[in-house]
Amino acid sequence: MSTSDAAGSAISDAAGSAISTADATRTGAAAGESVEDFRARARVWIRANLRPLEVHEEVGILRVTRTDEEELAAAARERKVQRMLFDNGLAGICFPPEYGGLGLTRAHQLAFNEEIEGYEYPQRIQVPTLTPCAAVLLEFGTEEQKLAHIPAMLKGEEIWMQFLSEPSSGSDVAAALTSAVRDGDDWLLNGSKIWTTGAWWSDWALCLARTNWDVPKHRGLTVFILPLTAHGVDVQRIEMLNGLKEFCQEFMTDVRVPDSDRIGAVDDGWTVGTRWMFHERMASNSPYVTSPGTSAHHRIGPDWLLDIARDAGRLEDPVVRDLIGESRVLDLVGSALQPRLAAGMTTGRLSDQSAAIARLFAGITATQHMTNAFDIVGDRGAAWVEGDGAVFDVGQDFLMRQTATIGGGTTEMARNVISERVLGMPREAALDRGLAFRDVPRGARNS
């Protein structure tokens, strides 16, 4: 009796603090809230305020599941959820309090990740806004820049994009052709960036541009920030083969950027860029990012295959069972591989470049899962109807299979890193080394 009373009052206390004023809550958190107190507070708030996800809500590969209006509504909802998190002392868990964060530890963020699993969360505001963009600002931004943007990010008011890849340079990102030319106290930017996700409803960008063409490629770059609404920025949506229109390309024509929006020193953009890409690679493990352990039903993997096989009526087919077994084996192996690599990199037993092994494994495993799923559904991978259950759209997903081995750095680049940096094999010949960038050979379409 008394035990349950105590538990009851603990819960109502936690709920009470969660709905207290934002400042009071955030001050309390910054004062050193324990992980377990924080977890309890987060749990109560999440369950009271956020919508639980439905099974299979986000399965498949970059599926077209919303109209433009629905996509805008979803982005708006995420901004609102982010604001609610901010107002209730649950946003920016590992960000410094002076920029609106809670100043708590990675352990608090991990607890939050666990608590929010299975609920909606502001997924669009995590990457690239909170990392790498906010992480780069924290490291290289001026005090004014940090104060101007990081609190706005944490409130869901600014969603950021990475202006990094260009039509002429994907893996070779330092070969950027976008130019920035000094004009009084400003810079004029011209060029094109590509593969920004959701730029059509986003606000700001971190941009890598070339400021010096007379030095080798890494030494003539500078990083800027700019609003996507700036005059001269034209955001075009790219239609992917499955009809998805979330990736964008931007065309910049004489976009005026004040020198106060430069990040880091002129021509020292590669110093910033190196850390930028480090934060990007680490995104899934960043303390700045909320990344709920995706429940098994929401990802491409054996659970999904089991559901597909059941809905295709082929669960007893030994060939299908072999495919499910293969995917389950790869999944178990992957979950053993990640901690081994992480531990090995921490202790120095394995090369600090071993993350490339995890990247390669994740890429080829995802493509194998997708192939297995496609083979399980039989001719329902060629044509399907709404009533086909989990089988629906698997054929379309198969067309998008290579997403897993291209996005976020190709598996070819991972293989280069493993062979050259982990195993110490000779590096590929680079014909641009030591050459002034203006003299580096370029493809005819990119000159």
The residue range among 19-27, 181-189, 248-256, 412-420 that interacts with other proteins, by the rule CB under 8 A, is 412-420
**Total chain residues near other proteins (CB under 8 A):** 43
- Separation CA 397–CA 175 (nearest Å): 32
* Distance in Å, CB of 422 to other proteins, minimum: 6
With a CB cutoff of 8 Å and minimum separation 6, the contacts of 221 are 174, 176, 208, 209, 210, 211, 267, 268, 269, 270, 273
Helices 35-49 and 2-18 cross at an angle (nearest 10°) of 80
Instruction: Report 335-354 residues binding other proteins (CB under 8 A).
Output: 336-337, 339-341, 343-344, 347, 349-350, 354
Specify whether the CB–CB gap between 38 and 115 falls below 8 A.
Answer: no
Specify whether the CB–CB gap between 393 and 384 falls below 8 A.
Answer: yes
Closer CB to other proteins, residue 200 or residue 304?
A: 304
Sign, CA dihedral 343-346-347-351, equals positive
The Cα diameter of the chain in Å comes to: 81
* Distance in Å, CB of 113 to other proteins, minimum: 21
With a CB cutoff of 8 Å and minimum separation 6, the contacts of 156 are 78, 79, 80, 81, 82, 83, 86, 122, 125
The residue range among 62-70, 98-106, 127-135, 298-306 that interacts with other proteins, by the rule CB under 8 A, is 298-306
DSSP state string for 93-124: TTS-GGGT-----HHHHHHHHHHHTTB---GG
Residue 361 within binding range of other proteins, rule CB under 8 A = yes
Closer CB to other proteins, residue 303 or residue 311?
A: 303
The residue range among 25-33, 138-146, 231-239, 413-421 that interacts with other proteins, by the rule CB under 8 A, is 413-421
> Which tokens is 36 given?
């377990």
**What would the x/- binding string for other proteins be over residues 67 to 96, using CB under 8 A?**
------------------------------
Closer CB to other proteins, residue 348 or residue 441?
A: 348
**What would the x/- binding string for other proteins be over residues 20 to 39, using CB under 8 A?**
--------------------
The residue range among 63-71, 156-164, 394-402, 419-427 that interacts with other proteins, by the rule CB under 8 A, is 419-427
The residue range among 224-232, 270-278, 355-363, 389-397 that interacts with other proteins, by the rule CB under 8 A, is 355-363
Closer CB to other proteins, residue 235 or residue 357?
A: 357
Specify whether the CB–CB gap between 255 and 225 falls below 8 A.
Answer: no
Angle made by CA atoms 48, 54, 55, in degrees to the nearest 5: 140
The residue range among 85-93, 123-131, 285-293, 414-422 that interacts with other proteins, by the rule CB under 8 A, is 414-422
> Which tokens is 230 given?
């700036």
Residue 321 within binding range of other proteins, rule CB under 8 A = yes
- Give the DSSP H/E element, type plus range, for residue 404: helix 403-406
Residue ranges that bind other proteins, judged by CB under 8 A: 302-303, 306, 315, 318, 321-322, 324-326, 328-330, 332-334, 336-337, 339-341, 343-344, 347, 349-350, 354, 356-357, 360-361, 412, 414-416, 418-420, 422-423, 425-426, 428
